[in-house]
Structure 1
Amino acid sequence: MSDHLPDLFWPGDERAGGLMGSPALLEAMVRVEGAWLAALVAAGVAPPAAAAGLDRPHGLGALVGPDDVAPLASGAEAGGNPVIGLVALLRERAEARDADTARWLHRGLTSQDVLDTALLLCTRDAVAEVRGQLTAQVARLAELADEHTGTVMAGRTLTQHAVPFTFGLKAAGWLSGVLDADEALAALRWPVQLGGAAGTRAAWVELAADLPEPEGVAAALAADVAARLGLAAADPWHTTRTPITRVGDALVGCTDAWGRLANDVLTLSRPELGELSEGTGGGSSTMPHKANPVLSTLVRRAALTTPQLGATLHLAAAESVDERADGGWHAEWATLRDLARRTVVAAAHATDLLAGLRVHADRMRAHHDAAAADLHAEQRTMAGLAGRTPSAHYLGVSSRLVGATVARARQHLDHPTPLPHLEENR
């Protein structure tokens, strides 16, 4: 369920659905609390009766729902984060039926443990959606590059004619960027954040003091929670914000790749060029002849705005202090939400853009031929240095480059890195 109203400020936002929405974050925080309580019981730290609330249908998730988002959000101001109010609400609602569940809920955790881990769970869902779109884009771009290996056009540098080029090589360049983006997402790690108040896990050791090897119990608790959530076991990372900035960088890398693609489409779809066009152009409120490249425009919008969001994550990381930052940590939450949602929306727009992209090879050839003298100027210079007549073609190793990139794409499609779906771990 999405908590986002239709967004007049960001056309297409509805494509992200409920990803990174408040209900999704609420659900993820409850999952973290439930996994922690289950681990306490399994380790023998908490009594078996503490699991009563977990054993009921839908576990702790039955105690709260989307209707609780608004009051929890309003109450979060008092403590600076939504976890404090959530824990109080869960305990209040569990108390009447499951007193031991209420008593042991959240014991040994801190707000940062719950919120950081929940944020990664939510972001991982968004990344899975983006990677699904990237897979479709890789397939389409490989098809375009292969089909147009020999489609000649004018190569342009700094807006001016340079040398002969092919649209297949241009599509291969787009493809390389998309492949790089997906590989960066696939390389992300999703470490659980569990450390207690200051990352020492001292409360856990104290809770396990009557058990053999309390420190070993503490390590086992972290590993158990990570496994229950489908995350990687990790030492506490509190104010070392690398897991957040890496995700941000990978998402920005996606919009970088799509921005390059969209800019080419916007330029080459100008009426005076007409070498490319979107499958379905957008209309104008006053000029009925227009078929605006709306998808490319919206993709470019994302590419122009996501780097600043990524920069905010880095600034927040650099400003982290002590064992929980006073403001830097708080600045990440909405920033990461906006970055992830905008990347999801741009992914969908880029997929649609490529699916309907029209290549006007005749226009490409006409422009190439009209500028042939300029496009082959370098060739004449090279041939003159070699003391011979220019060759019939001047495309260098273009076809080899296209072939290598298409082969990389096919390898990528045949042996994909598994998508990070949360449902597999519930």
Structure 2
Amino acid sequence: MSDLLEPGRHRAVGLGDDGLWLALLEVERAWLAALVSSGHATDAHLKALTAAIAEGVPLPAPETIESAGSPVVELVRILRAAVGEDAGRHVHRGLTSQDVLDSALMLLAKDALGRADTYLTLTAAALAELARTHRESLMAGRTLTQYAVPITFGLKAAQWLVGVLDARDAIRDCRPDLPAQAGGAAGTRSLLGTLTDAPDAVVDAFAAELGLRSVLPWHTRRTPITRVADVLGEACAAVGVIAGNVLFLGRPEVGEVREGRSAGKGTSSTMPHKANPVLSVLVRSAALQVPPLVGHLHTCSALAVDERPDGAWHAEWPAFTRVLTLTVTALSQTADLVGGLEVDAAAMSRRAQTAAAELLAERGTGTDPADYLGSATAFVDQVLARWDRG
């Protein structure tokens, strides 16, 4: 995807082709390190590979990747040529292409989930401050696009905060479980079994080098991919709700909130006086794009047949990396959006009074919106207590 058509993609630097290539190199290094630790390669072999990687391994030409069907075959050829015949015999020994690529994708996922946690925490802190500040700030509640009973803006911010904290919890549950992949040609570790009586120990060492879990091969059991996509999809949904609300509440005819302003932000090519809510627009865009990608990954998972998939695995790659980059970008943008959000509590109060007059006059009761808040402030306090507990 072109950076020209994905504004903000620089926020996810390292999760695209450049980051994937580095992750592939790290997987090959970690595997050789595991072979060394188990006595099936030497320190000299590992030093040769480490030096070759440090010198820089350029991305292969697209046509060579197409010829093999994945980038790993060309990666192995390049590395073996770089380290010489002796060390080259041990590079990639006992692995298959899917092992390397799947493990590399898990490294990218680990990075993306870590960044997502950071951005969600920043967003949560800003939302907690909004909820605390506006705990009793009256605003019109709206259901099915129409005025309903009054609420407070603190409650709205607190509900956004719950969504963000739930998404962060899901990410924190997922991140420690990311697995390495090491099954060999058909998921049996057959070649590795000819090298050692303890193949699981080699895989354990390999996973530890990468900071991933050692598990059974998962070539056609794609839960690790779909689980990451699911939690990132949840995060995108949470911030999509925030962006959608800000877009509505920021309309000139509503005017209850506004994105923070800065020089050059939100400018129009034809109407210089405008200040478009660009962060909200971009976050909403990501929230619309990610769910179909998550669904696509579940479809690929269901079609992962035999011992190695014939196309379903390949169809995961662009969708999975798009989920990573779109989500990290959107969460970073949301942290900026919420951190700079301007709230017009007076405008909210005026509209709450108008809405209350229309709705409550029919009941023959008073029209003070504060009399109809129910448990709104108590709910805010509950959410803030959760945030304060950490």
TM-score interval w.r.t. the shorter chain?
over 0.9
1:94-124 per-position Cα deviation (integer Å, ceiling 9, x unaligned): 11xxx33111111111011110001110121
Distance 1:400 1:179 in 2: 18
8 Å CA contact retained: 1:154, 1:368: yes
TM-score (structure 1 length as normaliser):
0.86
Letter aligned with residue 79 of structure 2 = L
Q: Pick from 95, 111, 114: which aligns with 1:128? A: 114
Counterparts of 1:382-393 in structure 2, within 5 Å, are: 393=371
Distance 1:150 1:194 in 2: 56
Counterparts of 1:286-305 in structure 2, within 5 Å, are: 286-305=270-289
Distance 1:62 1:270 in 2: 52
Distance 1:391 1:168 in 2: 15
Q: Pick from 198, 203, 213: which aligns with 2:191? A: 203
Distance 2:315 2:367 in 1: 64
Counterparts of 1:200-239 in structure 2, within 5 Å, are: 200-208=188-196, 214=197, 217-239=198-220
Aligned to 2:225: 244
Deviation at 1:375, TM superposition (A): 3.9
Q: Pick from 74, 85, 91: which aligns with 2:63? A: 74
Deviation at 1:90, TM superposition (A): 0.8
8 Å CA contact retained: 2:163, 2:238: yes
Distance 2:101 2:370 in 1: 64
Aligned to 2:73: 84
Deviation at 1:60, TM superposition (A): 4.6
Aligned to 1:374: 358
Q: How many residues align?
A: 385
Letter aligned with residue 93 of structure 1 = A
User: Where in structure 2 are there 5+ consecutive unaligned residues?
Assistant: none
Q: Does 1:194 align with 2:194?
A: no
Letter aligned with residue 132 of structure 1 = T
Q: Does 1:411 align with 2:370?
A: no
Counterpart secondary structure, 2:193: helix
Aligned to 1:421: none
Distance 1:392 1:304, change over 3 A: closer
Counterparts of 1:102-181 in structure 2, within 5 Å, are: 102-181=88-167
Deviation at 1:392, TM superposition (A): 6.7
8 Å CA contact retained: 1:53, 1:59: no
Distance 1:47 1:269 in 2: 63
Q: Pick from 37, 47, 55: which aligns with 2:32? A: 37
Counterpart secondary structure, 2:148: strand
Letter aligned with residue 138 of structure 1 = A
TM-score (structure 2 length as normaliser):
0.94
Distance 1:176 1:47, change over 3 A: closer
8 Å CA contact retained: 1:145, 1:169: yes
Aligned to 1:321: 305
Counterpart secondary structure, 2:142: strand
Deviation at 1:377, TM superposition (A): 6.5
8 Å CA contact retained: 1:30, 1:61: yes
Which structure 1 residue ranges, 4+ long, deviate > 6 Å from structure 2? 388-392
Aligned to 1:53: 45
Q: Pick from 245, 248, 257: which aligns with 1:267? A: 248
Distance 1:110 1:157 in 2: 54
Letter aligned with residue 69 of structure 1 = L
Deviation at 1:276, TM superposition (A): 0.6
Deviation at 1:327, TM superposition (A): 0.7
8 Å CA contact retained: 2:361, 2:367: no
Counterpart secondary structure, 2:141: strand
Distance 1:257 1:263 in 2: 10
8 Å CA contact retained: 2:20, 2:105: yes
Deviation at 1:283, TM superposition (A): 2.2
Distance 2:99 2:327 in 1: 26
Deviation at 1:59, TM superposition (A): 4.0
Deviation at 1:341, TM superposition (A): 0.7
Deviation at 1:372, TM superposition (A): 1.5
Deviation at 1:85, TM superposition (A): 0.9
Letter aligned with residue 202 of structure 2 = L
Q: Does 1:94 align with 2:77?
A: no
Distance 1:30 1:274, change over 3 A: same
Deviation at 1:282, TM superposition (A): 1.5
Q: Pick from 317, 326, 330: which aligns with 1:333? A: 317
Q: Does 1:9 align with 2:1?
A: no
Aligned to 1:422: none
RMSD of the alignment, in Å?
2.1
Distance 1:260 1:377 in 2: 32
Distance 1:391 1:20, change over 3 A: closer
8 Å CA contact retained: 2:32, 2:41: no
Distance 1:324 1:351 in 2: 40
Distance 1:123 1:270, change over 3 A: same
Aligned to 1:402: 380
Letter aligned with residue 272 of structure 2 = P
Aligned to 1:424: none
Distance 2:148 2:141 in 1: 5
Q: Pick from 242, 259, 263: which aligns with 1:278? A: 259
Distance 1:249 1:52, change over 3 A: same
Distance 1:38 1:392, change over 3 A: closer
Deviation at 1:365, TM superposition (A): 0.6
Aligned to 2:16: 21
Distance 1:30 1:346, change over 3 A: same
8 Å CA contact retained: 1:151, 1:361: yes
8 Å CA contact retained: 1:63, 1:90: no
